[in-house]
Every structure is written in structure tokens, then in C-alpha cells.
């Protein structure tokens, strides 16, 4: 049985660890610290923790000011509010002046579950990716979340990190070396490569195994940094396998699939099938049921992989 950890839990623990190592680290929340797990940090460092109340715009502005004062602020709330409600504050007060603010947004995607469509951000990656100078990271599991948070101590500049509510499969062990902007090739494949992020990475691994049993060699890449995108890894996969599938728990508009499409359409056009939420809002339900409803399971990836392979030009 595989071990399951919610990436938000991993965030809370890693933030505390980073806070212990680096006294400049401060945390902010907008009345969701129990859910985003910044409360763990706040308990040990009350004087470095600011709960600004239900005021996400102010959350981002105060984080910007703390950064100006030399702190390393981690601002957290639900992804839908962080990136939607406070988008312009992130643009104007954080990214335009190029401030070192880390936005770690939890409850991203449809795996929020029962809270329903109002709370399920399916646009956050797209909204953050479009802002000049913003780094966007979607960790695949708890281990990668910890590594990414710890890396933030040394990584300057505005960064958005997306974490989730639900417990999800752990695919890495502690030996994994995370680097911002570097894709992690989990499996090489000669027929097709699945480029995934977040909770779709374990699904992709499962799909690749099943495809292999059916005689299709599928590679799997964990593209945890959506921006700056590791274009070299995308091109190498496109050249090496001749077909690409992208998989993300996010709208197919503007997220990982779009970022990959931008690269391959210019640099190495090959058949591409994008899996994601097809321009609709989410709905209430259990995360697993929702993943099935929106076509985000290993079997959907398998189907997409076969579709991509079928689109490849036939060898003469």
C-alpha cells in the first residue's frame, strides 16, 4: 500500500522547519491557517505569524511590505482566493516591483471536494503563469512539497506554489533532489511521454505501467515547475517519443498543457493530447469521484496516450 500525505500538511511542516533555520521567514494567512497549515508555524513563532483576517488583498499587500522590510513572507490562503481575489495585488504590489514573496495556496483544484465549484480553483496556474517574473510550482507529492518549500529559502523572487487538501500518494523518497525549473524524468518511453504535474503524476505512473503491459512504452515526466518551464525536457521528450500527453488537475486553458503546447508547437511539433478540466467549473463530491467525472484518472491518461500514439505519422 502506498503512503498518502496531503501536500498542505507537508507545507505546514516544511514551513516550520524553514522558519527554524531562517529567522527572516514570516508567515501570513487570511483566516484559513488551520486549513492551509500555516498554523503550525504560527504556534511556534507567534511573533512572526500574521493572520490578517478575511482580507486577501491586504494579505498580499502586507506580504509585499514585509518583503520590502527584508523578511521572506509566505502568504497562504485557498488558491481560488489567493489567485482570483488578489490577482491584481499580486501583479502590482508583488510581481511588478519584483518582491520576494512566496504565495503558497492550498485547496487547489477539484480535489477540494465537497466545498464545490466556488472553492475549486481550476484557473490558478493560468492566472499566475501569465504574470511577468512569477515562478509557478505544482509539487507532485508531500516530499516534493517539502523540498520546494525548503528551496524557497534560497530562491529569490515572487513564487506561487500550489498545494492540495486531499491526501495523495507519495511517489518520492527523501533522496529526491528538487530544483526549481528542472523537470524530473521518472520514466523514459519510446512511444509517448506523459508530462504531468501535481496529483496527476502518480496517475501517470500507473498509466505508464498498464500501457507497458499492453506493449506501449510511455515515459513520465513530473513537470513540477510550470514556469519557468523546462523547455529542454519537453523538446527531448517530444523528439524521443514523438507524442505527448499532458495531465493536470486544472483547466486545459492556460496551465501545464498550454505551456507544453507553446513549446512543442514552436520547437518540435508532435501529436499532443491535453488532459485537464475542459473549460467548466467543478462541483461538490468526493475527490476520487470528481477525478473520475472530469477525466483525470490513470485510465483517462491511458486512453489519451493511445490517442496520441495513433496520431503519430505512420512509419513507412
> Max CA-CA distance within the chain?
69
Backbone φ, ψ for residue 135 (5° rounding): -95, 140
Least Å from the CB of residue 131 to other proteins = 13
- Residue 226 touches other proteins, criterion: CB under 8 A: no
Cα distance between residue 103 and residue 150, in whole Å: 14
Question: What is the C-alpha separation between 275 and 251, in angstroms, rounded?
Answer: 9
128 Cβ partners below 8 Å, 6+ apart?
A: 83, 90, 103, 134, 136, 160, 227
Cell numbers of 145, please? Answer: 512539497
Helices then strands, counting H and E runs in the chain, come out as 13, 14
Based on CB atoms, which residue is closest to other proteins, 28 or 231? Answer: 28
The binder of other proteins chosen from 35, 57, 283, 284 (CB under 8 A): 57
Task: Assess 269 for contact with other proteins (CB under 8 A).
Answer: no
Contact with other proteins (CB under 8 A): which of 21, 34, 43, 98? 98
Binding to other proteins by residue 53, rule CB under 8 A?
A: yes
DSSP track, 25-93: EEEEESS-HHHHSTHHHHHH-GGGEEE--S-HHHHHHHHHHHHHTT-EEEEEEEHHIIIIITHHHIIII
Query: For other proteins, which is the closer residue by CB, 59 or 152?
Result: 59
Site map 1..30 versus other proteins, x via CB under 8 A: -------------------------x----
The residue range among 92-100, 118-126, 190-198, 241-249 that interacts with other proteins, by the rule CB under 8 A, is 92-100
Question: Residues near 28 by Cβ (< 8 Å), separated by ≥ 6?
Answer: 38, 49, 50, 51, 52, 59, 62, 63, 66, 73, 74, 75, 76
Pick 60 or 195: Cβ nearer other proteins: 60
Q: Is 56 an annotated catalytic residue?
A: yes
Q: Which of 11, 41, 50, 87 binds other proteins (CB under 8 A)?
A: 50
Candidates 5, 17, 35, 68: give the one binding other proteins (CB under 8 A). Answer: 68
Quick one: 67 or 225, whose CB is closer to other proteins? Answer: 67
Residue 47 binding other proteins, by CB under 8 A: yes
Walk across the sheet containing 102-106 and list its strands.
Answer: 49-51, 25-29, 72-78, 102-106, 159-162, 135-137, 225-227
Residue placing its CB nearer to other proteins in the complex, 134 or 138:
134
Residues 19, 42, 73, 255: which binds other proteins (CB under 8 A)?
A: 73
Distance CA 160, CA 131 (A): 11
Is there binding between residue 97 and other proteins (CB under 8 A)? yes
**Cell 523514459 found at:** 188
Contact between 132 and other proteins per CB under 8 A: no
Among 5, 31, 35, 96, interactor with other proteins by CB under 8 A: 96
- List 9, 56, 236, 249, catalytic entry: 56
Closer by beta carbon to other proteins, 12 or else 61 = 61
Alpha-carbon span 104 to 75, nearest angstrom: 6
Answer yes or no: are the C-beta atoms of 235 and 267 closer than 8 Å.
yes
Active site residues: 56
Interface residue list for other proteins (CB under 8 A): 26, 47-48, 50, 52-53, 55, 57-58, 60-71, 73, 88-89, 92-93, 96-99
Amino acid at each position: 500500500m502506498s503512503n498518502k500525505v496531503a501536500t498542505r500538511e507537508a507545507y505546514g511542516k516544511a514551513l516550520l522547519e524553514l522558519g527554524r533555520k531562517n529567522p527572516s521567514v514570516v508567515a501570513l494567512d487570511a483566516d484559513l491557517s488551520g486549513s492551509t497549515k500555516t498554523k503550525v508555524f504560527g504556534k511556534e513563532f507567534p511573533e512572526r505569524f500574521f493572520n490578517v483576517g478575511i482580507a486577501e488583498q491586504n494579505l498580499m499587500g502586507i506580504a509585499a511590505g514585509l518583503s520590502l522590510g527584508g523578511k521572506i513572507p509566505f502568504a497562504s490562503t485557498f488558491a481560488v482566493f489567493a489567485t482570483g481575489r488578489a490577482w491584481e495585488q499580486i501583479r502590482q504590489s508583488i510581481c511588478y516591483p519584483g518582491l520576494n514573496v512566496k504565495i503558497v495556496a492550498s485547496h487547489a483544484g477539484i480535489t477540494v471536494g465537497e466545498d464545490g465549484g466556488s472553492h475549486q480553483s481550476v484557473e490558478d496556474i493560468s492566472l499566475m503563469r501569465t504574470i511577468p517574473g512569477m515562478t509557478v510550482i505544482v509539487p507532485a507529492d508531500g516530499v516534493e512539497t517539502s523540498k520546494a518549500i525548503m528551496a524557497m529559502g534560497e530562491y529569490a523572487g515572487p513564487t506561487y506554489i500550489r498545494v492540495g487538501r486531499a491526501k495523495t500518494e507519495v511517489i518520492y523518497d527523501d533522496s529526491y533532489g528538487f530544483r526549481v525549473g528542472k523537470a524530473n524524468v521518472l520514466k523514459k518511453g519510446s512511444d509517448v511521454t506523459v508530462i504531468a504535474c501535481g496529483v496527476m503524476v502518480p496517475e501517470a505512473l500507473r498509466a505508464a505501467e498498464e500501457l507497458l503491459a499492453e506493449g506501449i512504452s510511455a515515459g513520465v515526466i513530473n513537470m513540477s515547475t510550470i514556469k519557468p518551464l523546462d523547455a529542454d525536457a519537453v523538446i527531448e521528450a517530444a523528439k524521443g517519443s514523438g507524442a505527448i500527453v499532458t495531465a493536470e488537475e486544472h483547466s486545459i486553458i492556460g496551465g501545464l498543457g498550454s505551456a507544453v503546447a507553446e513549446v512543442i508547437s514552436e520547437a518540435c511539433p508532435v501529436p499532443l493530447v491535453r488532459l485537464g478540466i475542459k473549460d467548466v467549473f467543478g462541483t461538490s463530491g468526493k475527490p476520487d469521484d470528481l477525478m473520475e467525472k472530469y477525466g483525470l484518472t490513470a485510465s483517462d491518461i491511458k486512453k489519451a496516450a493511445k490517442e496520441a500514439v495513433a496520431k503519430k505519422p505512420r512509419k513507412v
